[in-house]
Amino acid sequence: MFLSYNALGGIHSADSAPVNINDINYLEIKNGIFDEIMATKDTSITLPISDVWDYNTLLHAKFQNNLLAGNIDFALKNISAIVTKVRKYGEYKWINIFSNPITSETDLNFENFYKYCKANTVYQFALVPILDNGIEGNFNINSVKSEFGGIFIMESDRGFYTEMEASIPDRKRNRPHSLINVIDGKYPYVIYPSQNQYDTFTVNGYFCKLNENGKYDPDNSFGYRDELMDFLSNGKPKFIKDSWGRAYIIAVDTNGIAEQQNSYTSFVTTSFPATQIGDANNGEDLFDNGLIEEVTP
C-alpha cells in the first residue's frame, strides 16, 4: 500500500460515513471522556459545534456538571407561556384550562390540577408552547382515563365528596312548551317557544368528615355538614359529577336542601334538588359560571 503526503489530509477525512437511521429512541455513550455531544437533522453542519439551537437540533449536551441535553435556553428565548388544553378523546375542539407564564428555567416546572373530568371517560391533555408572537407551537398530547367512585360537587376553589349512600335516583328532562287547542281539530298543536332543554334531579349522600388518619369520623361531622349546607345555599353555580359518568353544571334549589337522620344519631344523609344550567363539556359554560378562568394564549 502506498500513501501520499495528502492521506487523511482533510479535517473530516477519518469521519464515519453518515447513515440514515430511523426510530432512534436513545443514545448511550460509555468507556470514554466526552466533552460535548450534539445531534441535529442538519447534514451540512461543520466544526466547531455551534452553541445556537435551531429547529433541526435534537440534543446538545455540554456536560457542564449536569446531563442536560435539552433546549431550555432556546425555549426561554422564544416562548412566553405554556397553555394546557383538554378535550374528550375523539372530539375536535380543545378547551384552554391553564396558562403558565414562562420567564425563567424554574417556570418550566409546574403542576396544574383539572377536576372537571367525567368518570369512565378518556381525555386528551395537551401542553402547547406559546411563542413570543402569540403563535401556538407543537402540541405535546397525552391521553388519560378518568375513573373515580362516589359523587363530587364543586366550585372553582372548593368542594365536597361522598361515596357513601351516594345516588342521583331520579332525573327529569325539561323542555318548556305550550299546547294550542284549535276549534276545528281533534288534537292540539305543541309549540316550543325556546331552545331551553335541561335536566332536574335530586342528589343524595352521606357526607362525613375525615380525621387526621384519613378515616371517616361520623361522630364529629355535624360541623362539616353545616359547612356543606352553607356551601349548597350560597347561590353560586356548581359542578357535579358521579361515578356513572354523569356531569352537570347546576344551580341548587336552596329551599329543598334537607337532612335525614337514619338508624343512629350520627348517620345523617343530605339531599338537595338541582337544576342543570350549563354543559359540563363546554368551555364557555365553565367560564361563564365561574368554574374556570379565562385562558388566552
Q: What is the mean pLDDT of residues 94-106?
A: 90
Tell me the DSSP string of 18-69. Answer: P------------SS--S-EEEES-TT--SSPPS---TTEEEEE--SSS---
- Go through the chain and tell me how many residues it has: 297
pLDDT band at 6 (very low <50, low <70, confident <90, very high): low
171 and 116 in a single domain? The answer is no
Q: Which of 124, 146, 168 is the last residue of a domain?
A: 146
Residue 262 lies in a domain: yes
List, in order, residues 6 or more apart from 132 with CB less than 8 Å away.
78, 79, 80
Task: Tell which residue, 172, 165, 191, has the closest CA to residue 180.
Answer: 191
Tens of pLDDT along 112-144?
A: 999 999 999 999 999 999 988 888 888 999 999
Is 257 found in the same domain as 208? Answer: yes
Residue 68 CA to residue 71 CA, distance in Å, equals: 9
| CATH, residue 133 | 2.60.40.10
**Domain limits at 24?**
1-70
Domain C-terminal end among 42, 70, 98: 70
Residues 283/85, Cβ–Cβ less than 8 Å: no
Tell me if 147 sits within 8 A of 119, measured CB to CB. Answer: yes
Question: Per the structure, how many domains does the chain have?
Answer: 3
Q: Any bridge partners for residue 154, and if so which?
A: 159, 239
Structure confidence by residue, pLDDT tens digits, 176-203: 999 999 888 899 999 998 889 999 999 9
| pTM for this model (two decimals) | 0.75
C-alpha cell at 193: 317557544
Cell of 168: 342521583
User: Has residue 297 got a pLDDT over 70?
Assistant: no
